[in-house]
Amino acid sequence: MLIGVPKEIKNHEYRVGLTPASVRELRTHGHQILIETGAGEGIGMDDAAYAKAGAEIVPDAASVFARAEMIVKVKEPQPAECRQLRPGQILFTYLHLAPDPEQAKLLMQSGVIAIAYETVTDERGRLPLLAPMSEVAGRMAVQVGAVSLQKANGGLGVLLAGVPGVPPARVAVLGGGVVGTNAARIALGMGADVTIIDKSIGRLAQLDDLYGPHLKTLFATAEAIEDAVFHADLVIGAVLVPGASAPKLVTRDMLGQMRRGAVLVDVAIDQGGCFETSKPTTHDDPTYIVDGIVHYCVANMPGAVPRTSTFALAQATLPYALKLADHGWKAALRSDPHLRAGLNVAEGRIVHPAVATALGEVVLTADLVLAAA
């Protein structure tokens, strides 16, 4: 198969869809790879490294989109990219369609077969292609939260760790999945007073086993959330219902009962955000203040640490990219229900049930798509 990788164009997005090592593996399987010139610059991989691995370097994104049978990316296609997609072409990348009807419309119009990293599942119900970036974003959430808490950045002016005689900051983490667990781990490591909240008792029990008495766990009732948020210096939003818009757990009214200068880091912003007052921001201008509360809502947090993130993402996506390239999308999705769960758009329709519900579209099931294909 002819596989193409354009350079990412989202604000401060330096990750790239394939590493030279992935290119080499795909070449070993007999596939051809097109890389847009400079696509790997942000991770310190120049054109020569890709060429050495067996890729053909092409001068622009248009050449990639025009020629490739499968496009492998990192972030959701921007409008200019969507317009270059064509019927039957495979798009393998993050999409986060639930809060993004404009992108959904363009993908449906294009006729592309869009497989979203974030809804591919595994046999234990986890999200193996979201997990590596959730690990990064969860760990980063604490460091960006710590910086946002500094007075000059609009924050309360507290140090997460405190010092002898002065208590540490209180951190509330909403959602105890991959982002939440990684955030809690780093916040605990920095000496903060950490509470994690989830609606799954089983997940809270695992977290209790992992971190023992250092971590406070709370079952997610409205009362527990209010209590934790009102007393927190830093709140990290990390809930997810796969494919769906994030539930709004912190309303604008609740901000009035928080401490002025407290910080909200909404990692769930790529699914619309779990704070009512969240709106997507960029690495250029990551924070804004509502009712005295600092909001950090960057939708591509791992893009800031592209060397770590690209290698972590590429090692997770490679087996699936190989499967799609080796067998074609129809056979690959027929034989693997977990990869099939990644199918979001096909035949001009939304295929994932939770995504369709969020967008108010009528779902066309993956089984129907494959039966007709």
Ligand X SMILES: NC(=O)C1=CN([C@@H]2O[C@H](COP(=O)(O)OP(=O)(O)OC[C@H]3O[C@@H](n4cnc5c(N)ncnc54)[C@H](O)[C@@H]3O)[C@@H](O)[C@H]2O)C=CC1
Q: Does 286 sit near ligand PYR (CB under 6 A)?
A: no
Distance (Å, rounded) from C-alpha 269 to C-alpha 299?
6
Burial status of residue 145 (CB atoms within 10 A of its CB: 0-12, 13-18, 19 or more): buried
Question: How many residues interact with ligand PYR (rule CB under 6 A)?
Answer: 8
Using CB under 5 A, which of the segments 152-160, 209-217, 295-303, 306-314 binds Mg ion? 295-303
Distance (Å, rounded) from C-alpha 23 to C-alpha 20?
5
Q: Does 35 sit near ligand X (CB under 6 A)?
A: no
Q: Which member of 7, 96, 295, 352 binds Mg ion (CB under 5 A)?
A: 96
Strands (E), the chain: 2-5, 32-36, 56-58, 70-72, 90-93, 113-116, 170-174, 193-198, 216-219, 234-237, 263-266, 287-290, 293-296, 343-346, 349-350
**With contact defined as beta carbons under 8 Å apart, do 19 and 311 qualify?**
yes
Q: Which are the catalytic amino acids?
A: 96, 270
Which lies closer to ligand PYR via its Cβ, residue 170 or residue 352? 352
Which lies closer to ligand X via its Cβ, residue 141 or residue 156? 141
Q: Which member of 137, 169, 264, 293 binds ligand X (CB under 6 A)?
A: 137
Q: Which member of 93, 110, 119, 134 binds ligand X (CB under 6 A)?
A: 134
Which lies closer to ligand PYR via its Cβ, residue 155 or residue 272? 272
The answer to whether 108 is a known ligand-binding residue is no
The answer to whether 74 is a known ligand-binding residue is no
The answer to whether 327 is a known ligand-binding residue is yes
Q: Which member of 110, 195, 300, 310 binds ligand PYR (CB under 6 A)?
A: 300
Q: Does 199 sit near ligand X (CB under 6 A)?
A: yes
Q: Which member of 176, 180, 302, 306 binds ligand PYR (CB under 6 A)?
A: 302
Residue 297 beta carbon to ligand X: minimum distance, rounded to whole angstroms: 8
Q: Is 235 helix (H, G, I), strand (E, B) or coil?
A: strand
Q: Which amino acid is at 346?
A: A
Per-residue tokens: 282: 């960029």
Q: Does 238 sit near ligand X (CB under 6 A)?
A: yes
Q: Does 94 sit near ligand PYR (CB under 6 A)?
A: yes
Which lies closer to Mg ion via its Cβ, residue 168 or residue 342? 342
Residue 75 beta carbon to Mg ion: minimum distance, rounded to whole angstroms: 7
Distance (Å, rounded) from C-alpha 113 to C-alpha 344?
8
Per-residue tokens: 198: 């989830």
Q: Does 195 sit near ligand PYR (CB under 6 A)?
A: no
Backbone phi, psi, residue 15, to 5° = -70, 170
**With contact defined as beta carbons under 8 Å apart, do 364 and 350 qualify?**
yes
| Residues of each annotated binding site for substrate | 15, 75
